[in-house]
Chain A
Amino acid sequence: MKIHVFFSRLLGLLIPLFLVASWHYLSVHEVVPTTLLPLPSVLFDTWWDMQKSGELLLNMKMSLLRVGGGFLVGASVGFLLGTVMGVWKPVELYLYPVFNFFRQVPVVAWIPFLLIWLGIGEWFKIVFISCGAIIPMALKTFEGIRGVPTSYLEVVRAFEYGKFRMFRTVILPSALPSILTGLRISLSEAWMLVIGAELVAAGEGIGNVMIIARRLFQTDVVLVGVVVIAVTGFIMDKLLDLLETRFLGWRRIQNVQ
């Protein structure tokens, strides 16, 4: 049984391996010029050089700091917004239509407006990332709270729990799976947007490294950037997955039983 699972996992590697092999073939035989598609091995060397020189780490640090700032602000505001809309019906009536309106605007559509307001500095990036991080967090929190079964609420009402105690002991734990999903989507959104923000304007950061490399005709560095972004995003998602298992492990055990 276990061996079977192991092999079915390996299946997911087949297509990437095939892609890398064809990529290698296309570059080696110059079917596609190496200026457009450098060899996978060249990419590895470039990555190693960037790693050794500390260039990659310095720029990753900048990007991650921005993600951290934007995500922290965005997710907190999103959580509060989702909570107040979920808990108080009148607030929902006032805010939800407005929230829904802003939800329809792709975050990148804010770029020209934000640039006029904030310029190309650090504030622009933090605000831009927060804008994107708020939406999924608020939505998932709101949905999670709305999804608390009415029977639970009836029971705690019968016990005459106060509002805050009700929120802490029933609503929050029950909405937690949805909230954590919101957190994950929010973080992945923040990571995508930091790259977007840096492609527009930045002094440092992984997105900026790619823009500079494009201007200097270093296709390999551009592609290393893509791979590093993918791997970082993957790691971040895995970390939040672990967090989810830690907090919601009980739910999985329950489901298995």
Chain B
Amino acid sequence: MNKLISIIMTLVLGVVTLVTVPAYAEEKVVRIGFPGATTSRPQSGLGWGYVQAKHLFDEEFKKDGWTIDYNYIAAAGPGVNEGLANNSLDFGFHGDLPVLAARSNGLKIKALGAVRGGTSHLLVPTNSHIKTIKDLKGKRVGVSVGTWTHALLLKVLQDNGMTIKDLKVINTSGTAFETSLATGDIEAGFGSLSLIRRGVAREIWSTVGKHVRYQNTNTFVVREEFLRKHPDIVKRLVKVFVKGFYQASLNKNETLKFNTRTGTALADLIEENAGQSIKYLTSPKLDGQVTKQYKDSLALFKENGLIRRNFDPEAELYDRSYLDAALKELKLENHWPDYDSNGNPIKK
């Protein structure tokens, strides 16, 4: 019996140590996770690119000894979620599906701002007979499950009176997706313009020039525990984030040129972002465009069984106070308009 008690005690002690040690080993590091599957170089575009290139973070935090750790997560949004869940990340970026799936399953995060403007192309091999989305019925389609393109597929299928059950879904992403498309293991899937440029694939549909609801609208999220412990750091980080986005919002041509540092060609960037104002692309506001898209997505995901618990993002997810404070402090309250669900500026 004594032996049993000592075994139990050892187990309990072990668990307690495991749980408490990370709390003591805390350092002054802000760890951010970017979904890195789509960028060929570990560098960010748009606002975050400016934060990195202009050393805006160091400018703000140097005197307190805080450093920033940029992590590019190959597993994209779902990988960022795991990082936030196991405390290896404090902040992250997500498209609608990963952030809503995480919150729905109880991951304690708050959305502080928006990061807009992701595009994608529905590709088929060059020699494929598939011409329209309706032709996808019964076909093997490569999907990066849990990312925003997964959500995008649901949306375009819904438009065509289909559901994901009409397809054979193969979970694949990155280079595996490209190889499978080339070998014919998959017959279609969302991918980047570079595959068309290389002659591997042909597009049957793309988000370019379409309604904003098809575009990727990321949110910038923080772990609630970090927010509770360091509200001041969060406030200042959001300020840095707004500064970067402000710089990116000044000149579209300059910003697109700057974005080539992520490894995408300028011609591609110009084509992808055609017809969209740089103000819209860089607006960090959680406005009507974001909330409507997320609300519709929640209903769509619930219908498709991707999330099991519905929730009110206004109550459980969005926290605009930090962004509002930063905009006020930088006197940028009127720099970006609020956008409606169609992506049009609302005149005050």
**A and B bound?**
yes
Q: Residues on A close to B: CB < 8 A?
A: 18, 22, 26, 31-36, 119-121, 201-203, 208, 211-212, 214-219
B35 at the interface (CB under 8 A from A): no
Q: Which residues of B contact A218 (CB under 8 A)?
A: 101, 105, 308
Q: Which residues of B contact A35 (CB under 8 A)?
A: 85, 105-108
B171 to chain A, nearest CB (A): 6
Flag if A31 contacts B183 (CB, 8 Å). Answer: no
6 pairs, A vs B, C-beta closer than 8 Å: A35-B108, A119-B180, A202-B171, A203-B168, A212-B146, A217-B98
Given A35-B106, A217-B102, do A208 and B171 touch, yes or no (CB 8 Å)?
Answer: yes
B156 to chain A, nearest CB (A): 19
A210 to chain B, nearest CB (A): 11
Kindly list 17 other residue pairs between chains A and B, CB separation below 8 angstroms, not including A22-B15, A202-B170, A214-B78. Answer: A31-B19, A33-B85, A33-B106, A35-B105, A36-B86, A119-B185, A120-B185, A203-B140, A216-B146, A216-B306, A217-B81, A217-B85, A217-B98, A217-B105, A217-B107, A218-B101, A218-B105
A9 to chain B, nearest CB (A): 19
Q: Which residues of B contact A33 (CB under 8 A)?
A: 85, 106, 108
Q: Which residue of chain A lies nearest to B173 when distances are taken between CB atoms in the complex?
A: A215
B26 to chain A, nearest CB (A): 17
Within residues 83 to 113 of chain B, which ones have a CB less than 8 A from any CB in chain A? Answer: 85-86, 97-98, 101-102, 105-108
How many residues from B make CB contacts under 8 Å with A?
32
B32 at the interface (CB under 8 A from A): no
Chain A contact residues, majority secondary structure: loop
Query: 1/0 per position for B96-137, CB-CB distance to A under 8 A?
Result: 011001100111100000000000000000000000000000
Q: Which residues of A contact B82 (CB under 8 A)?
A: 214, 217
Assembled-state Cα–Cα distance A100/B101 (Å): 48
Assembled-state Cα–Cα distance A256/B330 (Å): 89
B227 at the interface (CB under 8 A from A): no
B145 at the interface (CB under 8 A from A): yes
Q: B78's contact among A22, A202, A217, by CB below 8 Å, is which?
A: A217
Q: Which residue of chain A lies nearest to B168 when distances are taken between CB atoms in the complex?
A: A203
Assembled-state Cα–Cα distance A219/B104 (Å): 12
A5 to chain B, nearest CB (A): 22
Assembled-state Cα–Cα distance A36/B86 (Å): 8
Assembled-state Cα–Cα distance A22/B11 (Å): 10
Assembled-state Cα–Cα distance A215/B75 (Å): 9
Flag if B180 contacts A36 (CB, 8 Å). Answer: no
Assembled-state Cα–Cα distance A100/B207 (Å): 55
Flag if A215 contacts B145 (CB, 8 Å). Answer: yes
- The winner among A201, A208, A212, A217 for most chain B CB atoms within 10 A is A217
Flag if B185 contacts A121 (CB, 8 Å). Answer: yes
A227 to chain B, nearest CB (A): 18
Assembled-state Cα–Cα distance A156/B170 (Å): 58
Q: Which residues of B contact A18 (CB under 8 A)?
A: 8
Assembled-state Cα–Cα distance A214/B101 (Å): 11
